[in-house]
Amino acid sequence: MRLSDLRDRSVAVWGSGREGVAAAAAIAPVGPADLVAVDDTLNFLALDWAQSRARDVPLITGDGCFDALMGAEVIVRSPGIGQTHPWIIEARRRGIEVTGGTALWMADHAGATVGVTGSKGKSTTTTLIHHLLGGVGRPAVLGGNIGTAPLDLPPAQQYVLELSCYQCADLADSPRVAALTALFPEHLDWHGGEEEYYRDKLNLVAHGPEHVVYNAADERLAARVTGRAAGLPDGFHVDGGQVRFRGEPLFARTVLGLVGIHNERNLCVALTVLDSLGVDCVAERDALAAAVSSYQPLPHRLTEIADPSGLTFVDDTLATSPYASMHAIDAYEGRALTVIVGGTDRGLDYTPLRDHLATRTLTVIGIPDSGARIVETLADLPGVRTEVAEDLVAAVRLARKLTPVGGAVLLSPAAPSYGRFRNFEHRSEVFLQAVRDTA
């Protein structure tokens, strides 16, 4: 479904955040028979509609929301509205078409788009692709889940989009190049289950992309996806301290200022995407090395904080699942390590984290709400010392006492931030302030 297909139809935009504003503002000029927006007051991302670009579109609130949605021929939902929401289920039962702003945009721009998704690494990989394209004289427009909503993007010859599982779920068109970084259980409440999550995530590649690029080291992806495998010796990979293409060295691994094997794999995915777009990465190796060297890491993803004590504090607050925390722990293998875990308790299974730490030596400090349950899951592991702290500040203070000089203190919560914090940025701010106050 394209934007133009909404002409003379009754449309309800569900959501009043940036995606809802972008959808309403883009749909209005098309000439729908009727267009309303339905408030999503429970979403902390909701904007002041009266001050937005879509203010001329009527905003339905309160008791009228359900009737406004059920009276539409098409519902354009914001990403936060889940597949399992009873109103979405009822709308589909009634035969109402449900789509999203990203799907509407992709229908018109798929041929000029690189789409990146994954349970971890999608933001880093997306921005790496965008940055490297600029480094070889192929500028692109960046957007999607990071930055600008697709329906707000300007005209361009090349787009690079980070796409969440929520955005992928509604796609009826795949981007020209679809890249996948990792796959593990996340957001199961939104999707309705683990397999449903995988289905929605992999919908990115379900509609005939020209190229599919995936991280070959991820077993779930390797079992579910066919395409160009990044990280293997017959393609882009890291070996002997060098980033290589089919065995030929391109530049030193140290050029990439990101820690962790998972970030090496993100780089290999990014380089494979460039190759799929026709960039001669061997001929451009010097330009690529310079671009990789100048790449600025994104905040809240293994961001190291200087400290006079000799400890390294690391902000990885965006690690909201046990699998993400496992990647972070691996990045500091070989160092004395204290990990702070805990946050909103979504009932996740932390057995995979226990299995991952079975032969490790480290300290784990749990904070509310799920921290106590996580450390209980890790109980009796021979090399894991577990503690519980009353809050994040107390955990930082305790970590200073327990971590040897030269070691690292890693905030990698394996849980979302809501409840105790406004959002992940707030959790990060509290962590940084605690590091400063306890120095």
On whether both 122 and 52 belong to a single domain, the answer is no
* pLDDT given at position 193: 78
Cite the annotated binding site by residue number. Answer: 118-124
2: in domain: no
On whether both 123 and 168 belong to a single domain, the answer is yes
66: in domain: yes
CATH number for the domain spanning 111: value is: 3.40.1190.10
Return d(Cα 352, Cα 358) in angstroms, integer: 10
On whether both 155 and 191 belong to a single domain, the answer is yes
Whether pTM exceeds 0.85: yes
* pLDDT given at position 419: 82
Radius of gyration of the chain (CA): 23
* pLDDT given at position 348: 86
On whether both 364 and 420 belong to a single domain, the answer is yes
* pLDDT given at position 62: 87
- State pLDDT tens for residues 309-349: 999 999 999 999 999 999 999 999 999 999 999 999 988 89
pLDDT interval class at 176 (50, 70, 90): very high
* pLDDT given at position 189: 63
On whether both 316 and 422 belong to a single domain, the answer is yes
Overall average pLDDT of the 139-154 stretch = 96
Q: Is the pLDDT of residue 397 over 70?
A: yes
Overall average pLDDT of the 108-114 stretch = 98
Q: Is the bond leading into 369 cis (omega within 30 degrees of zero)?
A: yes
On whether both 213 and 166 belong to a single domain, the answer is yes
Which stretches does DSSP call E strand in 50-172? 59-60, 74-77, 97-100, 113-117, 141-144, 159-162
Question: 121, 166, 187, 192: which is closest to 415 by C-alpha?
Answer: 187
The answer to whether 36 touches 57, Cβ cutoff 8 Å, is yes
Q: Of 253, 277, 294, which residue constitutes the final position of a domain?
A: 294
Return d(Cα 55, Cα 37) in angstroms, integer: 10
On whether both 69 and 202 belong to a single domain, the answer is no
On whether both 275 and 132 belong to a single domain, the answer is yes
Q: Is the pLDDT of residue 104 over 90?
A: yes
On whether both 323 and 272 belong to a single domain, the answer is no
CATH number for the domain spanning 26: value is: 3.40.50.720
CATH number for the domain spanning 356: value is: 3.90.190.20
- State pLDDT tens for residues 31-60: 999 999 998 655 546 788 999 999 999 999
Total domain count, the chain: 3
What residue has token string 């890249």?
Answer: 179
On whether both 174 and 261 belong to a single domain, the answer is yes
* pLDDT given at position 190: 58
* pLDDT given at position 275: 98
Burial class for 354, CB neighbours closer than 10 Å (0-12, 13-18, 19+): middle
365: in domain: yes
Cite the annotated binding site for ATP by residue number. Answer: 118-124
* pLDDT given at position 185: 75
Q: How far, in whole angstroms, is CA 217 from its chain's centroid?
A: 18
- State pLDDT tens for residues 244-260: 999 999 999 999 999 99
Q: Is the pLDDT of residue 409 over 80?
A: yes
* pLDDT given at position 113: 98
Question: 91, 223, 112, 94: which is closest to 170 by C-alpha?
Answer: 91
Q: Integer distance in angstroms from the first to the last C-alpha of the chain? A: 56
Average the pLDDT over each of 57-66, 79-88, 266-275 and give the range with the smallest value.
79-88
Q: Which domain holds residue 264?
A: 104-294
Strands 312-315 and 159-162: unpaired
Residue 137, CA distances (Å) to 116, 131, 132, 382 in order? 21, 10, 9, 53
The answer to whether 37 touches 59, Cβ cutoff 8 Å, is yes
Bigger pLDDT: 231 vs 298: 231
pLDDT > 90: percent of the chain? 88
On whether both 73 and 172 belong to a single domain, the answer is no
Q: Of 261, 294, 327, which residue constitutes the final position of a domain?
A: 294
Overall average pLDDT of the 57-71 stretch = 94
DSSP state of 112: G
Overall average pLDDT of the 295-304 stretch = 93
* pLDDT given at position 393: 98
- State pLDDT tens for residues 352-389: 999 999 999 999 999 999 999 999 999 999 999 999 99
Helix (H) or strand (E) holding 242: strand 242-245
Q: Is the pLDDT of residue 197 over 60?
A: yes
* pLDDT given at position 191: 59
On whether both 11 and 153 belong to a single domain, the answer is no
287: in domain: yes
What is the phi/psi pair of residue 89, to 5°?
-60, -45
* pLDDT given at position 273: 98
Q: Of 294, 319, 342, which residue constitutes the final position of a domain?
A: 294
* pLDDT given at position 351: 96
* pLDDT given at position 194: 87
